[in-house]
Amino acid sequence: MENNNHSIRVGGLQFDWDLSKGEFLFEKEDAVLFWITSAMKEFFDTIEEISGEEASTLVFEATGFRQGLIVGKYFEDLKHVKVEEAAELITSTYASAGWGYAHIENLDMDAHTLRVRLKDSWEYKINKAQGKKHRGNFLPAHYAGIFSSLFGRNVWFEIKEDQIAGAESTVVEYFPSEITINENIHALSRKKESQQILQLEAMVEDKTRDLKELIKQISSPIIPVLDGVVVVPLLGKYDQERAEELVFNTLNKLPSYKASYLVLDLTALDDDIDQLTTSLLEKISGAASLIGTETVLVGLSAKLSITIAESGIDISNFHCFQTLQHGIHYALSQQGKQII
């Protein structure tokens, strides 16, 4: 009968298989094996594709750090094992598990500093297969998590040499720091929120610009209704920009229509007009008169008439009519014409 159970010790570490259960144990704990440059590379590629480069870098960094805390806690619970001994055990354990060469240097228990030298790690192999020019931060952050736990205070890292960038090995220095994974995650979230806000603001700005352009095109169109008579309907409420646009377009086009009469239709103008709008009427009328065009106001409601009168504008300067039809008949009659 075929034996489904196999065991082996490598570097003082125990590896066990139970093929009938599909079980692999590493130091009596469930473990799993993956091909590095194919299956694991695909795993990394997929995370980066979905999350984006910046977010996925933080994912690997945070995962490495938090897994390191678990490893550090395991050795911290072994009361008889000193930090220096734990450092040796960790590197030999990882070497047995295929994590590549790792060596702890310059470990200073008082300053809480150290240096880790990594060579041909599984992360390096994945990054190389991905065609990257700089290594990832999973393993550097992983050792930061381990020694944060062992030192009892937060440490962070700086990569001094990078194997994937051409160095013989990757050298990472560790030191006490206020930098934490949670802060990095929150910083990325705030950055993404800021980017989204900026994108939304840009979209609003673009839409506002388009809307303003549309308003310019449809607001107060200049309508030559009959020979010598031009009608300009005033719509809604006017701000400084709309008022200036109206004056410019109207006075610019009146000569081309050879207009003797400019009929300003106030039917669709807000009753609650302000000083800017009333001064607009006076300004456009005065400017039109300079080029020989007389201004006629039509469509005045009782409330609008009172507002204009109270604004201080001399209403006697205008010929005013209740309806557009009356205003056009007046302009024609002044030219000796009539609609038959």
pLDDT bracket for residue 2 (50, 70, 90): low
Asked whether the predicted pLDDT for residue 19 surpasses 80, the reply is yes
The Cβ-side half-sphere exposure at 63, using a 13 Å CA radius, reads 11
Tell me what pLDDT residue 190 has.
Answer: 65
- pLDDT tens-digit series, residues 75-98: 888 777 889 999 988 998 899 889
- pLDDT tens-digit series, residues 159-208: 999 999 999 999 999 999 887 777 766 665 665 666 676 677 778 888 87
pLDDT bracket for residue 303 (50, 70, 90): confident
Mean pLDDT of 224-230: 89
- pLDDT tens-digit series, residues 125-162: 999 999 998 888 999 999 999 999 999 999 999 999 99
Tell me what pLDDT residue 316 has.
Answer: 72
Burial 118-143 (b: 16+ CB within 10 A, else e): beebbbbbbbebeeeeebbbbbbbbb
Tell me what pLDDT residue 110 has.
Answer: 94
Q: Which is it for the CA torsion 77, 80, 82, 86, positive or negative?
A: negative
218: CB partners within 8 A, 6+ apart: none
- C-alpha angle 302/236/282, rounded to 5°? 65
Helix (H) or strand (E) holding 269: none
Tallying the residues shown for the chain, one arrives at 340
Alpha-carbon span 152 to 154, nearest angstrom: 7
Tell me what pLDDT residue 194 has.
Answer: 65
84: CB partners within 8 A, 6+ apart: 107, 109
CA distances from 51 to 47, 59, 182 (A): 6, 9, 18
Question: Where do runs of H (alpha helix) occur along the chain?
Answer: 41-51, 53-77, 83-96, 122-129, 138-151, 181-218, 240-257, 275-290, 302-310, 324-334
Backbone angle region of 70, left / alpha / beta, with phi > 0 → left and psi within -120 to 50 → alpha: alpha
Tell me what pLDDT residue 128 has.
Answer: 94
Tell me what pLDDT residue 51 has.
Answer: 84
- pLDDT tens-digit series, residues 274-296: 788 888 888 888 888 888 999 99
Alpha-carbon span 76 to 104, nearest angstrom: 17
pTM above 0.75, yes or no: no
Tell me what pLDDT residue 38 has.
Answer: 92
